[in-house]
Structure 1
Amino acid sequence: MPVPRPLDRRHFLQAATGLGGVAMLSSWGGPAGAAQSPNERPVFATIGLRNQGWTITNKSTKFADFAAFADVDANVLGATNAKLEKKTGKKADGYEDYRKVLDRDDIDAVMIAAPDHWHTKISVEAMLAGKDVYCEKPLTLTIDEGKLIEKIVKQTGRVFQVGTMQRTENNQRFLKAIALIRDGRIGVIRKVTCGINGATGSPVIPAVDVPEGLNWDSWLGPAPKVDYRALPEMRKGYGGGVPRYTNCHYAWRNWYEYSGGQMNDWGAHHVDIATWALGAADTGPNKITPVSYSLPVDYENGYSTVENQYNTPTKFEIHANMPGDIPMVITSEGDNGILFDGTKGRFFVNRGKLAGKPVEDLESNPLPEGAVEDVYGGPVSENHTANFIAAMGTRDQPISDVWSHNRMLETCHLANIAIRLGRELKWDPTQREIVDDEQANSFLSRESRKGYEINM
């Protein structure tokens, strides 16, 4: 195991407030051969820099120093390093190949914001290289990838934080929602509805020349070799500066080859909170029923029949039968957020509000002191990175651990499989396999492209 490197007491307490109490004074696991400076902050690197990659880096400079960046797009790499220099006065070493980051002895932890199809390979190799890992959600492209990550976390003892920041941030709205449920404010839960937005399909997207500076083969990585595709119209707002219709930057979320559409993207947030609230974080559903759905292209045997258009669902209503036969509805209709229905009332929560009579009643009947902290497992961290660094100190797993995340994400993965095959699935949450359906079980894993297998 890597040799622990002590973190300066003052910096550690400032960075890690919110988890572990007195236990925060214990040393944290830095890499073997790392410097022993008592005033040094943890040294991070970010792999995959566009959009969320910079977002998590930017929020983390308060707690850690960034020594290295890696991205297969030289334009993104350069732009992100310029942002870092403007904010901190220092640039990070930049690499196209993430493995050069993992080879460095001075890197304590990596933050991964590459597209979903890269998450497992980079995460596993980072842990085997002695790094703690913060990886964006959704963590995996398949259910079996989640099992592998769990195995390597256990094998290496590394700390692993998944980027489901709703567990820590958003003014504690989601923590308060769970506290309301645990305090019996809506009685027994009868139904949970997760609104996660629909999506749109795309026109036919032609194959075009790869943009200068982008290593397309490396971007594809474990995914099948295909042409780069894009239309001239540019995307605006968040994720802007790239083609609106493409199979690369930002829009990769609309392709099953690289992601799971809205089901995995927003589902990884709201299904996570709903599963946590139901007390099902160590199990999951026993049945997934695709009540209705719309796919933007034709499918055959669970696969798109075309390769030049988005292929993830645009609309859907999925029913997951959760423990205690509580229905969880995952829908593209209605408001984005979670509606909890109980025998004594109902309330709604999302990133902007926590609303309903049980919430209004808090004015005259507040939650017991410490109720939110009890949900979180201690004082709530300043942000998700602070919680991660605190866990690096205690060597405990952080608030968004891989086990609860994978159990939740299995619901989303199964929903996508049910949609792709057009049928109900029975799930064995103990064996973690689909019951009596060989074809459906074939979707629990995927084969990596030759040359991009996970290096074990």
Structure 2
Amino acid sequence: MLHDPSRRAFVRTAAVSAAALATLGRATPALARAPRGQARAPRGQGANDRMQLAIIGFGKRANELHGGFLDDDGIEIIAVADVAAARAIEGTRLVNERRKAQVCRVVASWRDIIANPAIDAVIVATPDHWHAEPAIAAALAGKHVYCEKPLSLTIAEGRAIADAARKSQICFQTGSQQRSEFDYNFVRAAEAVRNGRIGKIKRITIGVGESPVACDLPAESCPADIDWDGWLGQAPMRPFNHELCPIGMHGHYPKWRNYREYANGGLADMGAHHFDIAQWALGMDESGPVTIIPPTGTPTNSVKSGLRFIYANQTEMIHGGPTDCTFIGSEGTIECSRGHVRAYLGEDPKAVDDPKILEPVRGNEVALPRNSSHIADFLRAIREGRSPICTAETGHRTATICQLCNIGYDIGQPLNWDPVTERFTGAQAAQANALTTRAVRKHA
């Protein structure tokens, strides 16, 4: 049985996490900004000792991820928690089957994972509206965190997560794995942009989905083994529906991604990947655009695309495009996706490819990391006491792009954004700033 640490220490940590989340509903910072520092190594462990991990939320994504962690012989997953008992049981079974030993156990609540001092790191693979509370609690408890993308539901949540990670000096990896995987297509593109291979960047187009809609799914009977109130968490109370919380273990991505109560739509689901690459290529991992310009005359019930972001250097980024990421510079264009990367002179996509644009770095050019995997980078960063490739701050800034996009569509007027204070200024500022946070339902 997982041993029970000092309950007083856990209650203090959980209380701070819950208070931070509740504070977000009042649109004020949850934590003071802490100075940047390197991530520290696992508590009380040497570089070669085994780390103990736990999984919070075992759906399709955690099922895909857990094997990558177990590929490392220095890792043990010792606990799984999920609001659906069947999923926690299946996750535990899969870990034990892989290890051929009873190393992993089901725990009743994610809070029990935070309370256990034997656990060095957590994998947060819950729906988006459940990222902030366990991620903040884990960081404040001194545990390293691998959190699925998009990092947060709101801009205020993202800031609270990033500040908690920075204050605690834990290693925090946001799961925007295009920085590490897919044959380095995105790495090569970002590297070429950074090194001026296509001149000054004029425009970037990002081909991702739409904004979320209000959830209108019908009520269904909730199975006895699902903690529905626990699934809802901070979100408004509503009846159970299996499209939000599938019954038992499942092999698909549930539809909660489409609904604004729990996520930020297809725009953020893949935007957390593709906008992330744009931010990375521009060297804006800790900043962002200064102006948001939604398309004019767009009915609120229509397909939403065409919103423009303007950065301080006048680079323009557009929601909508022919492929995942297209970088258009003064001298050439780079198109990249998970399946291809190509570059050519000029802007005509019918132009002949110019392989020189994507050649390996030369001399003093910027060389971006080539990780064997996103998970491997996270684990190596813990052991080396360094930051991983996609920190909480980076994940927050990318999630902010997605959230700014939705706010821009909601208001339908140009907006001025200060990426330093993370507040809107000028016309419509009060209305827009109110959308950087949400009311938090009181929950267990």
Pick the TM interval, shorter chain.
Answer: 0.7 to 0.9
Q: Which residue of 1 aligns with 2:60?
A: 51
CA distance in 2, matches of 1:95, 1:373: 45
RMSD over equivalenced CA pairs, Å: 2.9
Secondary structure of residue in 2 paired with 1:356? strand
Q: Where do 1:23-422 residues align within 5 Å?
A: 29-31=41-43, 40-63=49-72, 64-91=75-102, 92-198=104-210, 205-230=217-242, 239-240=251-252, 250-291=254-295, 314-331=303-320, 334-335=322-323, 337-357=324-344, 360-362=353-355, 366-369=359-362, 374-376=367-369, 380-422=370-412
8 A contact 2:40–2:386 mirrored in 1? no
**CA spacing shift, 1:124–1:372, aligned 2, 3 Å:** farther
Shift of 1:97: 0.6
Shift of 1:115: 0.8
CA distance in 2, matches of 1:127, 1:79: 27
Count of paired positions: 392
**CA spacing shift, 1:199–1:144, aligned 2, 3 Å:** closer
8 A contact 1:142–1:444 mirrored in 2? yes
Return the TM-score normalized by structure 1: 0.79
CA distance in 1, matches of 2:211, 2:52: 38
8 A contact 1:319–1:327 mirrored in 2? yes
**Residues 289-347 of structure 1: CA distance to partner in whole angstroms, max 9, x if unpaired?**
12166655xxxxxxxxxxxxxxxx8542210112311110012x633x10111111112
CA distance in 2, matches of 1:227, 1:371: 58
CA distance in 2, matches of 1:160, 1:201: 30
Secondary structure of residue in 2 paired with 1:374? coil
CA distance in 1, matches of 2:207, 2:118: 43
**What runs of 5+ residues in structure 1 fail to find an aligned partner?**
1-25, 241-248, 297-312
**What runs of 5+ residues in structure 2 fail to find an aligned partner?**
1-37, 346-351
Secondary structure of residue in 2 paired with 1:324? coil
Secondary structure of residue in 2 paired with 1:386? helix
Shift of 1:114: 0.5
**CA spacing shift, 1:200–1:219, aligned 2, 3 Å:** closer
Secondary structure of residue in 2 paired with 1:271? helix
Secondary structure of residue in 1 paired with 2:308? strand
Shift of 1:204: 5.6
8 A contact 1:345–1:357 mirrored in 2? yes
**Residues 251-296 of structure 1: CA distance to partner in whole angstroms, max 9, x if unpaired?**
1111111110012111111001011112222221111112166655
CA distance in 2, matches of 1:203, 1:118: 17
CA distance in 2, matches of 1:193, 1:150: 27
Quick check: 58-67 or 110-119, which moved more? 58-67
8 A contact 1:347–1:357 mirrored in 2? yes
**CA spacing shift, 1:230–1:68, aligned 2, 3 Å:** closer
Secondary structure of residue in 1 paired with 2:122? strand
**CA spacing shift, 1:421–1:37, aligned 2, 3 Å:** closer
Q: Which residue of 2 aligns with 1:438?
A: 430
**CA spacing shift, 1:98–1:364, aligned 2, 3 Å:** closer
Shift of 1:360: 4.1
Shift of 1:231: 7.3
* AA aligned opposite 2:307: I
8 A contact 1:239–1:250 mirrored in 2? no
* 1:449 and 2:444 aligned: no
CA distance in 1, matches of 2:362, 2:184: 15
Quick check: 110-119 or 279-288, which moved more? 279-288
* AA aligned opposite 1:415: C
**Residues 1-46 of structure 1: CA distance to partner in whole angstroms, max 9, x if unpaired?**
xxxxxxxxxxxxxxxxxxxxxxxxx9963246xxx68864211111
Question: Percent identity over the alignment?
Answer: 31
**CA spacing shift, 1:226–1:31, aligned 2, 3 Å:** farther
